Amino acid sequence: MPITDDNFTAEELTAVLEKKPELIGQIKPVLATRKFIVHDETEHANYLKTVVEPKIVGEANKKFHDNLDKDVKELFGEDKVAADEKSYVYLKRVAGAKMKVLGEMQTELDKLKKGHNPSEADKLRIAELEKGLQDKATEYDTELKKRDTVINKMKGTSAVEKELAPLRAKFKDNLPKAIVDNFEAGVIEDIVSKIRFKEDGGAVLYDGDKLLTDPKTLLPLTVTQYLTEKLGDLIDTGKGGAGAGGNGQGGKNDKKDGERTEFTAVPGDVKTKLALSDYLLKLGYIDGSKEFDEILEKHGKDLPLR
């Protein structure tokens, strides 16, 4: 096939590339000028590792620390000393100040009770300090338990987001964004509630007090395995990690820009969320628009995904 022949078929091009694979290196820059990005499997794996995962982990870490700062402010009522004060330094400082109060109260109490018969005034102060210590201990214990719950939730969300990134590359094409976002949110909330972190930083999953295991290997179920199972309706099992893939950006409608037939009701043959989203696209609604998402939420909430 002459390279100047613009009537070649895909099969002919494939045959040429098999004979002369060095042409791929020349074709990729040409595709790039037309805003196509082509990765082989190794390049795509490196892209996920060096670009996608750090971005997601970085965003999750920022969100974690922003929420941590917000919760510390709400729990202890004290601001950061400076905008760049590290979140854990901030938490340690204000929590330490609270604990210092307990220490000072305990020191005074021990001094009053030690080495002599306390006066009536001392007895009143001792009773006041003992009650105060008990009240403060209860208050701080409640605060710390709440803090631990929040931290574990944020750590769990960060861990899930990291494992979710490679799976998104395998999502089916043209899935409506609203469906992907809602489905993902439900799965993330479910798995975060099951995560428990080991001392080595690894994560295991529990359903109540029961450790979740892989029925084939009897080993603890991994976050990726659980995500893959729960996101099965979104994943194209024939799609590899390389390539752009479906990313929840939705399909295209059949109307010209500005044209739309108003939605009135769900047709009788529309039985799933995906079928409803396809119907809305055909009417001319734009995936991701406020109107599209509102109709899908209101009329598709009781429909199965597919």
What integer pLDDT is reported at residue 73 of this predicted model? 78
Q: Are residues 98 and 137 in the same domain?
A: yes
In the chain (306 residues long), the average pLDDT of successive 10-residue segments reads 64 83 82 80 80 73 76 76 78 70 71 72 78 73 64 66 75 74 78 75 80 85 83 71 41 55 85 81 80 82 74
In a domain, 261, yes or no: yes
- Answer whether 159's CB lies under 8 Å from 202's CB: no
Q: Are residues 142 and 91 in the same domain?
A: yes
Closest CA to 184 of 237, 273, 238, 248: 248
* Partners of 210 in beta bridges: 207
What integer pLDDT is reported at residue 65 of this predicted model? 75
Closest CA to 130 of 99, 108, 146: 108
In a domain, 236, yes or no: no
What would you report as the CA-atom Rg of the chain, rounded to the nearest whole angstrom?
29
**Residue 281 Ramachandran class (φ > 0 left, ψ -120 to 50 alpha, else beta):** alpha
Q: Are residues 256 and 225 in the same domain?
A: no
Sorted by sequence, the CB contacts under 8 Å of residue 252 that are 6+ apart come out as: 174, 281
Q: In the chain, what is the straight-line distance between the N-terminal and C-terminal CA atoms, in Å?
A: 44
* Number of Cα atoms under 13 Å in the Cβ half of residue 225: 14
Q: Are residues 68 and 107 in the same domain?
A: yes
In a domain, 29, yes or no: no
Q: Are residues 150 and 178 in the same domain?
A: no
Q: Are residues 200 and 214 in the same domain?
A: yes
Q: Are residues 156 and 63 in the same domain?
A: yes
What integer pLDDT is reported at residue 140 of this predicted model? 66
Q: Are residues 70 and 159 in the same domain?
A: yes
In 3-state terms, what secondary structure has residue 170?
coil
**pTM > 0.75: yes or no:** no
Domain boundary among 168, 199, 216: 168
In a domain, 22, yes or no: no
In a domain, 96, yes or no: yes
- Answer whether 194's CB lies under 8 Å from 205's CB: yes
At 218, phi and psi to the nearest 5?
65, 10
Domain boundary among 149, 168, 187: 168
**Rounded distance between C-alpha atoms, residue 165 and residue 245, angstroms:** 12
In a domain, 86, yes or no: yes
Q: Are strands 195-197 and 203-207 parallel, antiparallel or unpaired?
A: antiparallel
What integer pLDDT is reported at residue 93 of this predicted model? 76
Q: Are residues 179 and 69 in the same domain?
A: no
Amino acid found at 181: D
* Number of Cα atoms under 13 Å in the Cβ half of residue 28: 10
CA distances from 159 to 164, 192, 205, 225, 297 (A): 9, 9, 12, 13, 28
Total number of domains in the chain: 3
In a domain, 6, yes or no: no
In a domain, 36, yes or no: no
Q: Are residues 194 and 204 in the same domain?
A: yes
Q: Are residues 117 and 159 in the same domain?
A: yes
Q: Are residues 109 and 127 in the same domain?
A: yes
What residue numbers bound the domain in which 285 lies? 251-306
Domain boundary among 168, 183, 206: 168
